[in-house]
Structure 1
Amino acid sequence: MSTPSPSIEGFYAYNETLKAVYYGPGSVKTALPKLLEKLGVKKAFIVTGKTLKNKTSVVQSVEDVLKQHNTYTTTFADIGEHAPIAGIKSGLSALKESGADVLVSVGGGSPIDGAKAMIYHLQKETNGPFLKHIAVPTVLSAAEFSVSFIAGLTNEKGEKTGVSTPELAPAGIILDAELTLATPEKLWLSTGIRALDHAVESLYRAGAPRPIKVLCLASIASLFKYLPESKADPKNVEVRQRLQIAAWMSLWPLQLDTYSPLGLSHVLGYRLGAKYGVPHGITSCLTLASVVALQAEVASAEDKEVLADALWHIKVPSTGSVDGDVLKLSEEIASLVTKLGLRTDLAAFNIPRSDVPKIAELTVGSTSNALYPKVVQLLDGLYGSSKL
């Protein structure tokens, strides 16, 4: 393997909670021991999913690093998609039995959120300190950075819910592209669209400062460039590492005075995901382009301007008007989703058309909201284009 470019490997320290982000191909071998020492922890408990544990060598490679440093205790591999509460309860029991003082989540958003939720519930039971958490993601959804003190999970009714406290932010994150090689193509690419969703919606997120928006514009440029390259050459580790960095830029850790959701595409994703079994990445493939098109009609002039800026970053000529540029960005997003083989629709997931009014109401909060009829129309437009 050729020596990677210096720009795709390195180290970054964020704040008192997130001690370090290590990134680069093969970095788990050196970064994990550094984090264990930095955090002063002795017994590690791995949280992951069944497929990653049973059908790949990814979890084994993390276990081997922990065993070499005499810190491995247990691997819990029963966290399902959307982090169902039943799996979290089982994991909590296993965690208590292990006596671990640090959790290492390996995989996508569900293991990462599952680990956060276990830490939260253990602290509530014991009234002790919050355990440390090291996240090792293998997809591009950036759950390790996503409002990093919030853990999303699914309750017994199939509803998306969550727990939150600042202490739930991971203490360390390792972005190792070599560990992503076993990630299925559709999952890898669709979570890349999820990262694009983060970056685009952060351009009009309430309270997001200009430096964050500049990072998001750079993220958008990288995702448009490297996602097609990764599809064409899936074993190219350098391209995969650049995508992990782009996902990081799409959702840079940000503390706001009050919680602010990213935007309509994300809220719709939460409504469609757990209840109807739509993967997070695919919800963004469904909703993002249409939501961006809606911004040409409803967004503020300032938000439209920064959305229009994205065209320059993806090397697409301006249409000559701000509204036209926003609509053009929507078209480019839809084209990227199609190019990646991810085009789909609500019918493909057996979502009844009769559910549209209720989904729209839950999304905007009330049928009297001015956005309600627009969201109904948007959802109606998401039927009839399935390719998956």
Structure 2
Amino acid sequence: MDKTAGEYHFTRLETVVFGAGKVESLGRELSRRGSNRALIVTGKTLGRSKLLDKVKSAAGSALAGVFTGAEQHVPSHTVNELVAEARRVGADSMVSFGGGSPIDTVKNAAWQLMGGRAGSRTIDFSAGAAESGRGGDILHIAIPTTLSAGEFTPGGGVTNESTKVKGGVADPRLQAKVVILDPALTIETPAWLWASTGMRALDHAVEGSYSTRHQLVTDTLATKAIELLNAHLLPSLQMHGDDELEHRMRCQLAAWLSIFGMSNTRGGISHALGHQIGPMWNVPHGVTSCITLPHVMRFMAEVAADRFGPIAQGFDLRFDPRSPRSSAVECADRIAKFIGKFEVPTRLRDVGVPREEISRIAGTVLEEVKRANTVGVEVTLEQLVGILDAAY
């Protein structure tokens, strides 16, 4: 037998509170950490929602203000605006409310407030395990309303508005200390957004499983995440009342499990593609996973079929480690079929990407793939363009 050895690095996440109505715990979590100047950070849509009133009420006397300028793909100007607002109100903590955009906006703003330089061109989330040594933490409490799961990582993306290239920041101190999963706050999330970010969670689980850095802990949680999403994502959009909330709660837990080990396993080709497709052509990251994941899985089935065992188990598919390729291909086909059950785009042409432009991002994607080093073989520019052509 092969010898088992490895390392697992935990993030600085301290508490996950989950359940319908648990937003009420926000004030308690702020108080126990000594915060009395909390700035809520969200986008324009939730900024007009009555759901925001629940979050403001839960913050209680600690509420110092509300910032509603978070935008999709985190353009750099929104980070600068949040930094200025946090300083203006004297914020000692920030509460992100919404999807990945407000969550990553907070992380990037916190990075600047801690003395970090803005505008990183690259996404290298390996830095999430290495502290930079600058100033102290900025308390971040995350209340997500989608399944993208960025609240569980110490890294966040930001887009250079002039180049439309997405870079990011990563540092252990950027991890949210508290995550509150309240399915009652997700009921206004559009069906396409809920479904597509569910596919983003699926993407986390899949790419963690076939990463060269996978291990028993991450495999086990990825399998359970896939199982939960397969069982609960569609019903969460079909049911009503308490049943709907319970299915949504199970999906939120699946999102947590899907990304639990990503700071250890890191992302793969599908994530790298999504990081650049999104800002270049204004495609939501959940949607990019709907488009790229099956094609990347077919590529990975040719180079790392032996790592598909946890994925097959999550979908209750037979996996023969002596002849894994057919099972790996079946996993890719099963995920494509699963995505097809939802009203989400599945091709680049469906989201308005010009055919003649798809190779523009290949170079930047290749840089990220090489830095992550999760595939296990050398990936070429031509192969990436081939995956993009297949996704078109």
TM-score of the superposed pair, with normalisation by structure 1: 0.86
1:243 counterpart (251, 265, 268):
251
- Determine the C-alpha separation between the residues in 2 that align with 1:125 and 1:211: 32
TM-score of the superposed pair, with normalisation by structure 2: 0.85
- Structure 1 equivalent of residue 126 of structure 2: none
Change (3 A) 1:99 1:245: same
2:146 counterpart letter in structure 1? V
1:84 counterpart (75, 78, 83):
75
**TM-fit CA distance, 1:282:** 0.1
**TM-fit CA distance, 1:255:** 5.0
- Structure 2 equivalent of residue 120 of structure 1: 111
- Structure 1 equivalent of residue 235 of structure 2: 229
- Structure 2 equivalent of residue 9 of structure 1: none
1:337 counterpart letter in structure 2? I
**TM-fit CA distance, 1:261:** 3.5
- Structure 2 equivalent of residue 155 of structure 1: 160
1:112 counterpart letter in structure 2? I
**TM-fit CA distance, 1:239:** 0.3
SS in 1 for 2:219: helix
2:361 counterpart (359, 362, 368):
359
- Determine the C-alpha separation between the residues in 2 that align with 1:120 and 1:263: 25
**TM-fit CA distance, 1:53:** 1.2
- Structure 1 equivalent of residue 127 of structure 2: none
- Determine the C-alpha separation between the residues in 2 that align with 1:15 and 1:330: 30
**TM-fit CA distance, 1:15:** 6.7
**TM-fit CA distance, 1:155:** 1.6
Change (3 A) 1:361 1:234: farther
**TM-fit CA distance, 1:141:** 0.4
Say yes or no: does 1:379 pair with 2:388. Answer: yes
The sequence identity of aligned pairs, in percent, is 34
Unpaired segments ≥5 residues, structure 1: 1-13, 384-388
After the TM superposition, which residues 319-330 of structure 1 pair with which residues of structure 2 at under 5 Å, given as runs? Answer: 321-330=323-332
**TM-fit CA distance, 1:128:** 5.0
- Determine the C-alpha separation between the residues in 2 that align with 1:116 and 1:365: 23
Q: Answer whether contact 1:265 1:291 (CA < 8 A) is retained.
A: yes
Change (3 A) 1:295 1:253: closer
- Structure 2 equivalent of residue 63 of structure 1: 56
Change (3 A) 1:16 1:113: closer
**TM-fit CA distance, 1:80:** 0.5
SS in 2 for 1:97: helix
- Structure 2 equivalent of residue 134 of structure 1: 141
- Determine the C-alpha separation between the residues in 2 that align with 1:378 and 1:276: 17
**TM-fit CA distance, 1:361:** 2.9
Q: Answer whether contact 2:111 2:174 (CA < 8 A) is retained.
A: yes
Unpaired segments ≥5 residues, structure 2: 1-8, 118-133, 371-377
Q: Answer whether contact 1:151 1:164 (CA < 8 A) is retained.
A: yes
1:240 counterpart letter in structure 2? R
**TM-fit CA distance, 1:352:** 2.1
1:290 counterpart (290, 295, 314):
295
- Determine the C-alpha separation between the residues in 2 that align with 1:234 and 1:193: 21
- Determine the C-alpha separation between the residues in 1 that align with 2:197 and 2:67: 23
SS in 2 for 1:218: helix
After the TM superposition, which residues 195-206 of structure 1 pair with which residues of structure 2 at under 5 Å, given as runs? Answer: 195-206=201-212
1:163 counterpart letter in structure 2? V
**TM-fit CA distance, 1:309:** 4.1
- Determine the C-alpha separation between the residues in 2 that align with 1:15 and 1:308: 24
Q: Deviations over 1:163-206 (max 9, x none)?
A: 22211111111011111111111000100000000000000223
Q: Answer whether contact 1:53 1:60 (CA < 8 A) is retained.
A: no
Q: Answer whether contact 2:291 2:347 (CA < 8 A) is retained.
A: yes
Q: Deviations over 1:244-272 (max 9, x none)?
A: 0000000005654xxx6310000010120
After the TM superposition, which residues 30-109 of structure 1 pair with which residues of structure 2 at under 5 Å, given as runs? Answer: 31-54=25-48, 56-67=49-60, 70-109=61-100
**TM-fit CA distance, 1:318:** 5.3
Q: What is the aligned residue count? A: 356
- Structure 2 equivalent of residue 173 of structure 1: 179
Change (3 A) 1:245 1:372: same
Q: Deviations over 1:315-362 (max 9, x none)?
A: 345589411111111111111111012243112233222223332333
Change (3 A) 1:282 1:234: farther
1:223 counterpart letter in structure 2? L
Tell me whether 127-136 or 196-205 shows the greater mean CA deviation. 127-136
SS in 1 for 2:237: helix
SS in 2 for 1:344: coil
Q: CA RMSD in A?
A: 2.3
Q: Answer whether contact 1:285 1:337 (CA < 8 A) is retained.
A: yes
1:185 counterpart letter in structure 2? A
- Determine the C-alpha separation between the residues in 2 that align with 1:262 and 1:233: 33
Change (3 A) 1:251 1:75: same
**TM-fit CA distance, 1:308:** 3.7
Change (3 A) 1:343 1:254: closer
1:376 counterpart letter in structure 2? V
2:109 counterpart letter in structure 1? M
SS in 2 for 1:76: strand
Tell me whether 335-344 or 178-187 shows the greater mean CA deviation. 335-344
Q: Deviations over 1:357-387 (max 9, x none)?
A: 3323332249x9653322222211222xxxx
**TM-fit CA distance, 1:314:** 1.8
Tell me whether 338-347 or 181-190 shows the greater mean CA deviation. 338-347
